Amino acid sequence: MTTADPILMSVFARTFKSITDEMSISVQKTTRSPILCEAKDFVTGLYDAEGNMLEQTENLPILAFSLAPVCRYIREFFDGDIHEGDVIFHNDVFSMGNQNNDVAVYRPVFHKGELVAWTAVKGHQADIGGAVPGGYNPNATEVWQEAIRIPPVKVVEKGKLRRDVWDLIFANIRLDIVQHDMRAQMGACTIGARRITELLDKYGLETFQVHKEALFEATRRMMEAEIATIPNGTYSGEGMVYFDGHHQGTEFTIRVDITVEDRRIKFDYSRTDAQTDGFVNGTFTSSASATILTLLQMVNPDMPHNEGMVQPVEIVIPEGTILNASYPKATTFGNHLCPPNADAIIRALAPVIPDRVTAGWNNLLCSLTTGVDPEKGDKYVDIGFMGLKGGSGAMRGTDGYDHIGMIDASGGVLDQDYEMFEQQTPHRLVRHEYIPDSAGAGQWRGGLGVVTEFVIGSENTQFVTFGDGDFEPAFGLFGGHDSILNIIKLTYPDGTEVVPRNKDLIMGVPRGTFYHQLAGGGGGYGDPKSRDRKLLAQEVRDGIITAQAARELYGYEA
């Protein structure tokens, strides 16, 4: 019987990671939507025959643990009917999906006639049907108003494209670009399947299985060791959600009770508020993924991302809560419940592991524009990644990252290139720069936020906003200060000023409207008066902190 060799186990671990990285590069280079090829709003993954995670490349961390649950569901759904050459699509939030727009491709991998693995890619599509172009519908109350649901379905069977299924799906999606992007995801899965087959040809199935299990076990022990450094006990925290899109003034509380017992950790959300009547709900998968990605920020960053990592972690999210809505509730906003979820976890654990938590990150306030480019006559959808990226929270010994984005992206969402923004939309960019004093003050300050301004270039533009960043700034820790609130404002050509609600749908925005957005910074950590004086002097010279703020907040006279 083959026994695990530590060196070969490392080879397998590195190879798994190189496969998902190569798949990621393929998606980035072959997709057409800026959501994928520029912002990198996708994840690539490799799984064993049972759907257990071998490795992932999480360009967008909120997608980090959204593929494995669906892989296991598909494995059971098609049990006995999985064949070489099959390709399966899925986005259904009520069969372990995380968000309607996040459409996944799964490809089973066979070796000598036996199912041995799966490759998968999930990416945010520019449109997914439903009542509103782009998929974000603040008026939605049920899933059918948001998207076309795609439960597990074979679009390719035994190597042959099922044209009837393909046409059925894409007849319900507005933009042709989505077909091309889905083909790119399929291509990346093919690359991953090819690489895992080469690995099995080299080492054999038995060696693969033995070292896979050894890798899971080693990773489990690594996570257990990290958990063991947290004192045993139960710790509680809260995060807030503001406005469900329908009832002005509504507020909802995410409550987590974290129990640490030796080498295991449990996140229990049983006391979280009930689901809403709007689209401000999550799914179990999106909420659990948010929990995992927040935990990962507090543990060894060199830990492999495989099934062993999540084995010591238990997550309880009762159905019917805002984090795990019941069928057929609307859930498109669910991924963006990650920030208040993360806030609750950070607040719970900050007293016991102060060296490993950050202050609050900028809360999301995002906009989405859709319309017809008057020069090209083409439909476009643009998610304003450039404008939504505020700063991250500081931690002990380290300032926050400037202009990194919301915590569920954790730097994974990249900016749109300025010239590509103007090529792919009819808008004209006017201004995009850091905001002085936008970071929460502290011994270690938060990351800076940004201001973004552009002129809308299409007539009858549809404008959507979603987020909570205009209600609550990123919070400071241990004497650190909060940051600033987010702002979005539209100024129409006739001078009319419109400040959208934080979840809003505005129709008929005219061409020539001036768009102004502030994305706040991250929260500060520690007493600002303890900040390094030489560093403060340099930041005042550079315009990062104004002389007035340096004097009033930091006690520093320039």
Sign of the Cα pseudo-torsion (23, 385, 237, 359, in order): positive
490-542: pLDDT as tens digits: 999 999 999 999 999 999 999 999 999 999 999 999 999 999 999 999 999 99
CB 451 within 8 A of CB 432: yes
Residue spans per domain, the chain = 6-220, 358-558
Residue 485 in this model has a pLDDT that exceeds 70: yes
Could you tell me what percent of the chain has a pLDDT over 90? Answer: 92
| H-helix or E-strand spanning residue 501 | none
Q: Which tops the pLDDT comparison, 385 or 440? A: 440
Answer yes or no: is pLDDT of 78 > 80.
yes
User: Which alpha helices (H) appear in 410-532, and where do they start and end?
Assistant: 418-424
**What is the C-alpha to C-alpha distance for residues 393 and 401, in angstroms, rounded to an integer?**
7
Predicted confidence at residue 2, as pLDDT, reads 79
Position 340 scores a pLDDT of 96
Q: Rounded to whole angstroms, how far apart are CA atoms 164 and 86?
A: 15
Strand ranges across the sheet with 497-498: 428-434, 450-455, 514-519, 487-491, 497-498
Residue 356 has pLDDT above 80, yes or no: yes
Angle between helices 177-203 and 205-228 (to 10 degrees): 110
**What percent of the chain is modeled with pLDDT above 70?**
99
Which 3 state secondary structure label does DSSP give 353? coil
Q: Is 259 helix (H, G, I), strand (E, B) or coil?
A: strand
Which pLDDT band, with edges at 50, 70 and 90, does 406 fall under?
Answer: confident
> In one letter, which amino acid is 455?
V
- Asked if the bond preceding 328 is cis, omega within 30° of 0, the reply is yes
Q: CA 556, CA 558: separation in Å to the nearest integer? A: 6
* Band of pLDDT at residue 60, cut at 50, 70 and 90: confident
| Mean pLDDT estimate for the chain | 95
Asked whether the beta carbons of 345 and 477 are under 8 A apart, the reply is: no
Indicate the pLDDT class of residue 416, thresholds 50, 70 and 90. confident
Instruction: Give 508-518 pLDDT, tens digit per residue.
Output: 999 999 999 99
Helices of type H across 425-546: 533-542
CA angle 262, 267, 270 (to 5 degrees): 135
Looking at residue 268, what is its pLDDT? 98
Residue 90 token pair: 């899925």
pTM score of the predicted model: 0.95
Spatial contact of 221 and 309, defined as CB atoms under 8 Å apart = no
User: Which two structure tokens, joined as six digits, stand for 197?
Assistant: 């087959």
Model pLDDT for residues 230-282, shown as the tens digit of each residue: 999 999 999 999 999 999 999 999 999 999 999 999 999 999 999 999 999 99
CA distance 128 to 381: 12
- Strands (E) in 125-250, as ranges, are 153-157, 160-161, 233-242
Indicate the pLDDT class of residue 407, thresholds 50, 70 and 90.
confident
pLDDT at position 414: 76
pLDDT at 300 over 80: yes
Average pLDDT over residues 83-107: 97
Residues 6+ apart with CB under 8 A from 196: 19, 46, 109, 116, 117, 119
pLDDT at 61: 80
How does residue 405 score in pLDDT terms, banded at 50, 70 and 90? confident
For the stretch 318-351, pLDDT in tens is 999 999 999 999 999 999 999 999 999 999 999 9
What is the structure's pLDDT at 460? 97
Residue 558 has pLDDT above 90, yes or no: no
CA distance 422 to 163: 35
Query: Is the per-residue pLDDT at 412 higher than 80?
Result: no
Q: How far apart are CA 253 and CA 237, in angstroms?
A: 10
How far is residue 477's CA from residue 237's CA, in Å, rounded to a whole number?
14
Kindly report the length of the chain.
Answer: 558
> CB of 292 within 8 A of CB of 64?
yes
Angle at 338 between CA 336 and CA 339, to 5 degrees: 95
Q: For residue range 18-57, what is the model confidence (pLDDT) as tens digits?
A: 999 999 999 999 999 999 998 899 999 999 999 999 999 9
Cβ(558)–Cβ(537) under 8 Å? Answer: yes
SS (H, E, C) 50-117: CCCEEEEEECCHHHCCCCHHHHHHHHHHCCCCCCCCCEEEECCHHHCCCCCCEEEEEEEEEECCEEEE
In what helix (H) or strand (E) does residue 144 lie, and over which residues does it extend? none
Can you give the pLDDT at residue 59? 87
- pLDDT of 189-218, one tens digit each? 999 999 999 999 999 999 999 999 999 999
Report the relative pairing of strands 313-316 and 264-268 from DSSP bridges: parallel
Question: How far is the C-alpha of 345 from the C-alpha of 423, rounded, in Å?
Answer: 41
Interval 116-144: pLDDT, tens: 999 999 999 999 999 999 999 999 999 99
> Judging by DSSP bridges, how do beta strands 160-161 and 153-157 pair with one another?
antiparallel
Tell me the C-alpha distance between 134 and 126, whole Å. Answer: 6
Q: Provide the pLDDT for residue 410.
A: 72
**Does the pLDDT of residue 1 top 70, yes or no?**
no
